[in-house]
Structure 1
Amino acid sequence: MCVSMCRGCDKVCEIVVSSILLNEFLPPSPLNLSALSLSTTTTPAIRSTEVSVWNVLLPSSKENQKPSNDCPAGRGSNEQAVHQKQRLPVTMELPRSTLLLLCTLARSLVLGQQEDKVVDDLCLGCLCEAMSDCNRTFSCVGDDCGLFMITKPYWEDAGRHVIAKDNSSSPGAFQRCVVDPFCAAATVESYMKTYSKDCNENGAVDCEDFFALHFLGAGCEGDINQASPEGLDKLRVCQEEVAKIRSGN
């Protein structure tokens, strides 16, 4: 349980464990770092710890899951045209996905796994929540694939990441990457490193900017408030929940 891991972050763990006892989680999988390594034909291999938030993701269904006391370990393209997305049903309740992020925060505080990244793990989790409710079994809707709903041009712009022992020139390499949580997260991180921009012009590049880049594409041209109001609302709700835990409230 989270409590057994927490030394010096008791308040965070108290909140997380209390939430877990009232919600449903998958049991944690053993963290096999060697098995989670990623590679790409155009960029250095991504270490698995750089996407540690994805060690365990949510099941696709919110029903018929047994409670557990264990703590679980796009869009956009470089083209100027903005393609309308087939949107998934939007729910403003974030019980399990948000709690997963909070549990990840507690684990990160203890294990020191938060690294200096363009998109931190918690923002990455909220992007996932906004795009697909972090549905790990989500395949494709039109051109959008995986739990981040990534397009092939986006994947190519991000460096054509592939899962271990795959090749970016092999048929299906794109789909195999973006439906894999680790490879998809590495793709998003690489895309944001390349096209990072203050889309909302508030003086800082923040998670809402990353969402605009992810949904609208490089240059973030267009109004994200009109392009995806539901997704933006979900992103903000997710961030608010994370902020509450960070502040200990």
Structure 2
Amino acid sequence: MAPTRCSAPKRCFGDFCGPFNLSKDYWLDAGQPTLLNNDPERKGAFEDCAKDYECAKTIVAGYLEKFVTDCNNDGVIDCLDHMMVNANGRYDCSTPLETTTVGRRWLAAYEKCKVDL
């Protein structure tokens, strides 16, 4: 939840929705998970899932299962790698988070969330 500063909004802001600030493309890459008994082809299926905390977690898990790798080459796939693939993109996640504006914001939010939890 670093992108949303540890809050869990249940609405969409432009093209991004829910507690993880997810895009429809991200949802498509994750395999189009939906709420129970919902059709991914139904208009609004993405938004409904992305705004629901549990369903949104399923989206993120599906995306990471498909794309996460050892982005920083430390021999371990961990939370940092998950942030790197999300911040840098699925095709080249190796850019250190400290070197980008988005990455620095995510790291700062992550550190704050760790303290707040």
TM normalised by structure 1 equals 0.42
Identify the residue that residue 42 of structure 2 maps to in structure 1: 170
Distance 2:26 2:94 in 1: 15
Identify the residue that residue 107 of structure 2 maps to in structure 1: 232
TM normalised by structure 2 equals 0.83
Asked if 1 retains the 8 angstrom alpha-carbon contact of 2:71 and 2:84, the reply is yes
RMSD of the TM alignment (CA)? 2.0
In the alignment, does 2:62 pair up with 1:181?
A: no
Q: Structure 1 stretches (4+) deviating beyond 4 angstroms?
A: none
2:68 to 163, 181, 196: 196
SS in 2 for 1:192: helix
Asked if 1 retains the 8 angstrom alpha-carbon contact of 2:72 and 2:96, the reply is no
Identify the residue that residue 84 of structure 2 maps to in structure 1: 212
Distance 2:35 2:15 in 1: 20
What pairs up with 1:1-249 in 2 under 5 angstroms?
128=1, 130-219=2-91, 220=93, 222-225=95-98, 226=100, 227-239=102-114
Q: Deviations over 1:124-169 (max 9, x none)?
A: xxxx1x1213433342233221110111111011110001121100
Residue identity (%): 30
User: Structure 1 residues 134 and 241, CA, compared in 2 at 3 Å: closer, same or farther?
Assistant: closer
Distance 1:199 1:221 in 2: 5
Distance 2:4 2:11 in 1: 10
Distance 2:74 2:112 in 1: 19
Q: Deviations over 1:96-144 (max 9, x none)?
A: xxxxxxxxxxxxxxxxxxxxxxxxxxxxxxxx1x121343334223322
Structure ID, larger Rg: 1
User: Structure 1 residues 142 and 200, CA, compared in 2 at 3 Å: closer, same or farther?
Assistant: farther
Q: What is the number of equivalent residue pairs in this alignment?
A: 114
| Structure 2 segments unaligned to the other structure (5+ residues) | none
| Structure 1 segments unaligned to the other structure (5+ residues) | 1-127, 243-249
The structure richer in helix per residue is 2
Structure 2 letter corresponding to 1:228: G
Distance 1:140 1:222 in 2: 28
